[in-house]
Structure 1
């Protein structure tokens, strides 16, 4: 059976240690960081309404899951992030994938586990990993069920369980209610007295700098997110925000499933104008600094 939600408690101390020591190389705006060193902005936005959906298994007709690529190419060999959409009551047959993936529930409820495991429905803001070669099923229930899926290299393929193998990885399911959030006193990636919070989800075994985090922005947040990496992908998991493109000063309204990116150190002007919290999932190989205006 896959690792259950309470597995997260065993690794919480590791993530807290990461959070408390991550910011040593981050950009400090007051000391001339990302803002001054960004010469040619590479910021880009993809709205959820711009995503093109394709059937993952056309043979299943209207019951087929759909995929919409946000960045990369899931049919190629590169790292990729895409949205997966499931119909209400969907349940896959047992299968494996040729690559490991990570995923975040954006809408609805999703179950992903060993074929014989009892259903554990994950709500929006939950995070799970699926190692390559391990047999599992995926189910969904709700009027609209969407997950963000991420792979480190493609192509992303589905194969039968007679091809199953153990690559040494172990899956993790973390329900949204068990995500551990750190404030500015626990993570130097957050400016002093910032009301934003951060949760460190994973760190690459092959690239020490590459990692994934959740960032929670409080209601009425208005500030800056400074990124130093040449890999930076951010997806809206919950709520929404206004994003100002530095090239044109155009403001884009990002809802759940929308995305912004940059390919070099960058300054991201973001505002949560609602009375609800906004959560972002960020994949980066650099550090971050989040501060209020």
Structure 2
């Protein structure tokens, strides 16, 4: 019942936000590349122990932006071995996460396992006791916090922050077109996860680029961060780069990212920004 309530909660939240946010548009337009853009390929991520106190049993962590042990917004990849299961624990900071590969279960210690596949989204409130388990040869998730340090604490340190967790499997993500209507098969699609797509407002969304898409994403916020979840889109900067799942690109200020999706494979990208952005298809 708890898992079902979590799914219903996110679906209701997505519906409410989607109706209220129509500031993203799909159009044809010519623009310049983002001079401030930075790209970090998945193959370039530097790995270290997520929880050194657990020694060889610790998952691995690879920072994409920020500093897990600092006080700044941070995003990192967490990598688990097949069969990993944590002891009951809690964190001092609320996090949001997306499954990139493998299967992940994250819930109360006594909850029936709900294995989330790639493209699934969940949140873990600070202070709440939970476990995290993984299945699959390579299991990787994107983890994001607004402020660190990111600490692992024992159950006796539990407290109620007033927040409640959300787990939503990829199969329950609701995709819409940029104007909140049902999306067509050949157009970019959006899934609203959190926040409000307005100037100055922090928000998180999924962008799904159909197979064969070529165009750009223009950001109007002061910060734009994007992590590839599925597919292998091409990024056109100083050099053309293939972005495997786990790759990251970002920019500051108004900027444009030129990107395409392979002819035979769609791409899903997690976007975190603090304002509006616009998806633009190239003119034929």
TM-score (norm 2): 0.90
Where do 5+ consecutive residues of structure 1 fail to align?
none
1:243-277: CA deviation from partner (whole Å, max 9, x where unpaired): 111xx3x1111000001100111111001124121
Cα distance, 1:46–1:8 mapped onto 2, change above 3 Å: same
1:20, distance to aligned residue in structure 2 (A): 3.9
Partner of 2:234: 242
1:147, distance to aligned residue in structure 2 (A): 0.3
1:111-131: CA deviation from partner (whole Å, max 9, x where unpaired): 000011011100000000000
Asked whether 1:140 is paired with 2:129, we answer: no
Distance 1:141 1:236 in 2: 21
Partner of 1:225: 217
Distance 2:185 2:253 in 1: 27
| Secondary structure of 1:198's aligned partner | strand
| Secondary structure of 1:291's aligned partner | strand
1:272-291 matches, cutoff 5 A: 272-291=261-280
1:89-238 matches, cutoff 5 A: 89-186=83-180, 195-203=187-195, 209-238=201-230
Asked whether 1:256 is paired with 2:238, we answer: no
Where do 5+ consecutive residues of structure 2 fail to align?
none
1:31, distance to aligned residue in structure 2 (A): 8.7
| Secondary structure of 1:4's aligned partner | helix
Distance 2:127 2:21 in 1: 32
* Alignment check: 8 A CA contact 1:197 1:215 kept: yes
Cα distance, 1:57–1:11 mapped onto 2, change above 3 Å: closer
Distance 1:234 1:5 in 2: 29
| Secondary structure of 2:257's aligned partner | strand
1:121-156: CA deviation from partner (whole Å, max 9, x where unpaired): 000000000000000000001100100000000100
Runs of 4+ in 1 over 6 A off after TM superposition: 27-32
Cα distance, 1:11–1:66 mapped onto 2, change above 3 Å: closer
Moved more, 170-179 or 4-13: 4-13
Distance 1:185 1:209 in 2: 18
Partner of 2:254: 265
* Alignment check: 8 A CA contact 1:103 1:150 kept: yes
1:44, distance to aligned residue in structure 2 (A): 0.8
Cα distance, 1:46–1:86 mapped onto 2, change above 3 Å: same
1:63, distance to aligned residue in structure 2 (A): 2.5
Distance 1:120 1:235 in 2: 24
TM-score (norm 1): 0.88
Partner of 1:70: 64
| Secondary structure of 1:167's aligned partner | coil
How much is the aligned-residue C-alpha RMSD, in angstroms? 2.5
Partner of 1:19: 18
